[in-house]
Amino acid sequence: MPRAVIFHLTVSGITASNKVYDGNTTATLNTASATLVGVVGSDSITLNTTGASGTFANKNVGTSKTVTVSGLTLGGADAGNYSLTQPTTTANITAKELTVSGIIASNKVYDGNTMATLNTTSATLVGVVGSESVALNTAGASGTFGNKNVGTGKTVTVSGLTISGTDAGNYTLTQPTTTANITPKELTVTGITANNKVYDGTATATLNTASATLIGVVGSDSVALNTAGAVGTFADTNVGTGKTVTVSGLTISGTDASNYSLTQPTTTANITQASTATTLSVSSQQSTVGQSVTFTATVSRPPSATSQTSRQPREIAPTGTVTFTEGITVLGARPLDKGVAIFVTSLSVGSHNITAIYGGDQNHAGSSSNPVSHQVNAAKLFLPAILNPLMPLAGYWEAPRDRFTVRSDRVSVINFASSFDVPSCNIYDYWITYSGPVTIANNRFSFGGTFYADITFNSQTSAQGTVGINNYLFPNCGYRTGGPNPTTINWKSSSTVPLSAPASGAGYLPRVVGK
């Protein structure tokens, strides 16, 4: 007959898996070891776990949270004699990890510390379930580089972010990381000066580095300035005041040197004009009026400190103009070419002292030469012969009663002396002397006045013409007038007349040198 008592069965061996908070109460069961407890004897009873499910008491994070199992059923021939109590178990709901995106760190110049500046404007929580109330608090956020040193793409660890809100307790917040660069800090240098120099055609500057000091080193960082390779260079080679000198070749060393860059400094100095010396030479010490005379001015500069040579390359040779003067009179000006100016001129009769004055250029100071003397002699009237070398100042022709003299130290002047045989007046003892301009044309020369003459050269050694006097006062005889008288004159026999003396056509052309 059927039993009147229903036996109550329980279940053991069912466990629930811990889970990360997911906003619901569902629990995952493990029923592999599920066992019925309370079956009588050999009753035929089976446990069906196929429909089993587990449910946490609530969705919130907690440890050993009760999980209620449901959906277990009994099977077997004796199942009707039993009732089944749905078991419980426990499991943990752990907080869900949230991450943060959108935080960036600013690049910075090396400052000796690891602090990083964050930009949290776009910071966003990642991983919040549904529309749960969880907010990200960035007010206390800070960033930290892994170390203080210069580097690219360096990791910046963020800390100080928090979360809040109704559901915040079900979450944990993983502090994010980002990257940024630390760039070298720029160091400058003070205390370097450059020496002024005289123009030498180069841009090289001499530096004084004894007082050179690094500016900008952080704290007690180990950084040293090395000046051994320092070089100074002017902006250009030309003369100027307060010219920029660029320094190069400075380096830094030391344990912390890699965290710095060095800006090569600049300074200023003057390039002053190079002194010059002007010398003047002349093509000859003497000339005859009308002849060209060449004056050559040479402008040189002293040897430069760098080259130690007096050579003047074209690019640094003085340029400009040399003015040639006599006293306060300017004779002319000529441009320099490779330091030389050439002036060709003709001067009047007399002694001349010529000076060359160099006016200077941008890079060279002016200078003046010492005066150079030059003698210009009167033009010589060459009679048809070469004067005896023993008679350098005068040569003369002679006729039986008449004599005229050509002096080589007069310009276009002829002195004529003549004697007349007038015994009653003793005129023979007197000389008539004429000195005045001489007209030379067509192989003839002539002059007039108290004494007059018209002479034609007809050979190398003789000349013919007429001479006379006009109302000339002779002592003891009164005024006399005579002529014209035919005259043939010959070169004085005591003078040497070289046979090779030049002639022109049938007669020798008297000429004034330089005319």
Q: What is the CATH number of the domain that holds 430?
A: 2.40.128
Q: Please give the pLDDT value at position 278.
A: 97
Q: Is residue 361 part of a domain?
A: yes
Are 226 and 254 a contacting pair, CB within 8 Å?
A: no
Residues spanned by the domain of 357 = 277-377
Q: Is residue 388 part of a domain?
A: no
Of the three residues 183, 206, 222, the one that is the final residue of a domain is 183
What's the number of domains the chain is made of? 5
Residues whose CB is less than 8 angstroms from the CB of residue 25 and which lie 6 or more positions away in sequence, other chains included: 55, 56, 57, 58, 59
- How many angstroms separate the CA atoms of 348 and 378, rounded? 9
Q: Is residue 257 part of a domain?
A: yes
Q: Is residue 219 part of a domain?
A: yes
Per residue in 191-220, pLDDT (tens digit) is: 999 999 999 999 999 999 999 999 999 999
Work out the burial of residue 66: count CB atoms within 10 Å of its CB; fewer than 13 is exposed, 13-18 middle, 19 or more buried. Answer: middle
Q: Is residue 103 part of a domain?
A: yes
Asked if residue 119 and residue 145 are part of one domain, the reply reads yes
Query: Percent of the chain scored above 70 by pLDDT?
Result: 73
Mean pLDDT of 295-307: 76
Distance of CA 302 to the CA centre of its chain: 25
Pair of tokens at residue 473: 């006062």
pLDDT at 456 over 90: no
Q: Which of 29-43, 213-227, 372-386, 392-406 has the lowest mean pLDDT?
A: 392-406
Distance of CA 262 to the CA centre of its chain: 21
Asked if residue 23 and residue 88 are part of one domain, the reply reads yes
Q: Please give the pLDDT value at position 442.
A: 58
DSSP string, 2-46: --S-PEEEEEES-EE--EE--SS-EE-EE-TT-EEE---TT---E
- How many angstroms separate the CA atoms of 215 and 189, rounded? 6
In 289-347, alpha helices (H):
none
- How many angstroms separate the CA atoms of 198 and 358, rounded? 18
Per residue in 94-118, pLDDT (tens digit) is: 999 999 999 999 999 999 999 999 9
DSSP string, 217-267: --TT---EEE-TT-EEEESSSS-EEEEEEEEE--EEESTTGGGEEEPPPEE
pLDDT at 504 over 60: no
Q: Specify the DSSP element, H or E, that contains 198.
A: strand 197-198
Q: Establish whether the linkage from the previous residue to 313 is cis, with ω within 30° of 0.
A: no
Are 405 and 489 a contacting pair, CB within 8 Å?
A: no
Asked if residue 306 and residue 344 are part of one domain, the reply reads yes
- How many angstroms separate the CA atoms of 27 and 256, rounded? 58
Q: Which of 118-132, 162-176, 206-220, 293-307 has the lowest mean pLDDT?
A: 293-307
Q: Please give the pLDDT value at position 471.
A: 76
Max CA-CA distance within the chain? 223
Q: Please give the pLDDT value at position 334.
A: 97
Of the three residues 328, 352, 377, the one that is the final residue of a domain is 377
Per residue in 259-285, pLDDT (tens digit) is: 999 999 999 999 999 999 999 999 999
- How many angstroms separate the CA atoms of 81 and 58, rounded? 35
Q: Is residue 472 part of a domain?
A: yes
